[in-house]
Amino acid sequence: MGWSVRKKQCCGGGFGLLFLTVGVALIPIVDYVVRKEIEKTVILKKGNLLYETWRDLPIPIYMQFYMFDCKNPDEVKQGHKPFVVQKGPYTYIEKRTKYDLIHNINGTVTYKQNRTFHFARDLSVGPESDRFTTLNPVYWSLLTALKWEKPEVSKLISFLTTFEQEYVFMNRSVKEILWGYQDPTLHLAKGFAPEWFYTDIAGYFINKNATNDGVYTIFTGETDINKLGRIDQYNGSRYLNFWNTKWANMINGSDATIYPPFAKKSRVSYAFASDVCRSIEGIYSEEVTDSHGFTLWRYTAPDSYVANATNNPDNIGFCTPNCLDKGLINVSNCQTLDFFHIPAVISLPHFYLAADKYREAVMGMNPNKEEHQTIIDAEPNIGWVLRAAKKIQINLYIQPIEGFDETSGITPVFLPVFWLNESAVIDEKNAKMLKNMLFTPLQVVHVVEIVLIAGGSLLIVATIGYTIYRRQKKKEEAFYDDVEYLLKHTGAARPIQSLVSDEQNLKNCRETRNTEK
């Protein structure tokens, strides 16, 4: 019987220690194996499952436009504060496909990316034919150019805008404002000076549908996983040429769709946005859970991104030609119509995070963080962006222009034209693929680790408890044997309590009993 007990104790303790050791040892081993498997899976290499996903992005991207309708254009020309009413969204489904891919020997891949937009009436508040009263970009582009162009060009511009009766405001449809319309002044100018006016189509997104936004060269992660997705060159260069400083012209980060895996919260993630001609810094904000159950890390731009040059001296590079206050960036250098710069200024929607004076100069502005903040939600283990929302507002700067009576009474103001939300959320199909490929196996292994550690710990505790129990049981059995012996040999001469409490007496009883045995 004693051997059986000892055997049970040895087996229980041994197996418990074995399970606990294996469970603890599995943690670094599994983490290493999983890390290597993820690295092998996410690098941009032909044949990888995620390579095809990256090349032909299956996740739907939605481009939502919120248009501003100016309700008092005549009063604005007389110097009154503009009053605008927002209407939207007008939603387009964006499709991105990479082509002309060339894998380079230095661990990079060069490609172009075709972008097509299709109007989604069921996701919009109205048809593309909805009309809005907004600023005339041709008029303001040409008038702004008067300050900088040669005398003969300025004379032609002055003649054209007067002859064709271009006005401060225009009333056009959503489709025309965004994707273009034939402008009568540009049509006439194209005939007079084709070397200056190569198109007669005006629109904020002309030449952006079914076209690419440049030639990208990015790191594939094959030679260094920490460079995965980082842009090496854009249009053959590591720098832009729109801004005043080398820092402002730097092309940093990725295209905001893919980052290196195994992120740390202290890591700064940069994204390059070709439509605003600059790189944007993203810092860890909070941990969020999406509708598919993924735990994501949210990145947002710091306040320094929108700070003025006084509070953030680095931003002096974006002072083109003059510095603006907090929240506004002049992008006219990288937004052109023919060869003329559009006086466009970007901000966050409704002048969110901008200086109060910009918001207070326009009636109808209602900024709030939840609706107007740009976010990127990335899965930290694989580095893929599973949810994103880039929000930008396009504003035109208007002011009195000498020699043009239509503008003489205008109070200088940055007037919103529209704001857009370019968003993407991983769909059910791709979420399931990621779960089956990466996360489910990882969870299974972690569950096995927990079971082994918990099971081993329980076996050890149970073995210790059983050992203590057996020792106590043997002491009780010996005690009752002693009592029985005393009763048998002493009779009632002494009270049983005194006999039992007399340790020397019990000791003598045990020795006598052992001798008799």
- How much is the pLDDT for 117? 94
Dist. CA 7–CA 16, nearest whole Å? 14
Handedness of CA 417, 419, 422, 425 (dihedral sign): negative
- How much is the pLDDT for 433? 75
Dist. CA 282–CA 390, nearest whole Å? 12
Reported as type and span, the H/E element at residue 379 is none
Helix, strand or coil, per DSSP, at residue 40: helix
**8 A C-beta contact, residue 38 and residue 381:** yes
Residue type, 387: R
For residue 464, which of 12, 23, 139, 3 has the smallest C-alpha distance?
Answer: 12
Dist. CA 302–CA 286, nearest whole Å? 13
Residues 6+ apart with CB under 8 A from 259: 228, 229, 269, 378, 383, 384, 385
* Pairing mode, strands 278-289 and 211-219: unpaired
Dist. CA 334–CA 344, nearest whole Å? 9
Take residue 481 and report the two structure tokens written for it: 């044997």
Dist. CA 102–CA 463, nearest whole Å? 64
Dist. CA 345–CA 368, nearest whole Å? 20
Quote the longest CA-to-CA distance of the chain: 139
Reported as type and span, the H/E element at residue 385 is strand 385-398
- The DSSP code sequence of 438-461 is IIHHHHHHHHHHHHHHHHHHHHHH
Residue type, 84: V
Dist. CA 384–CA 434, nearest whole Å? 10
**8 A C-beta contact, residue 354 and residue 376:** no
Dist. CA 210–CA 177, nearest whole Å? 18
Residues 6+ apart with CB under 8 A from 472: none
Dist. CA 418–CA 173, nearest whole Å? 13
- How much is the pLDDT for 517? 52
Q: pLDDT tens track of the chain, all 517 residues? A: 444 555 554 554 455 455 445 445 555 556 666 677 777 788 998 888 778 888 887 778 999 999 999 999 999 999 999 999 999 999 999 998 899 999 999 999 999 999 999 999 999 999 999 999 999 988 888 777 766 656 656 666 666 666 555 688 999 999 999 999 988 878 877 777 777 777 788 888 887 888 888 999 999 999 999 999 999 999 999 999 889 899 999 999 898 888 888 888 888 888 898 888 888 888 999 999 988 888 899 999 888 888 888 889 988 988 887 889 999 998 887 876 655 677 889 999 999 999 999 999 999 999 999 999 999 999 888 888 889 999 999 999 999 987 778 888 999 999 999 999 999 988 888 788 777 766 665 665 565 556 555 554 555 555 555 555 556 656 655 665 655 655 565 554 454 555 455 555 555 665 565 555 5
- Tokens 């959503």 found at: 174
Neighbours of 346 (CB within 10 A): 20
For residue 157, which of 144, 170, 168 has the smallest C-alpha distance?
Answer: 144
For residue 207, which of 217, 198, 218 has the smallest C-alpha distance?
Answer: 198
**8 A C-beta contact, residue 426 and residue 292:** yes
- How much is the pLDDT for 478? 60
Helix, strand or coil, per DSSP, at residue 73: helix
The β-bridge partners of 388 are: 376, 424
Dist. CA 469–CA 26, nearest whole Å? 33
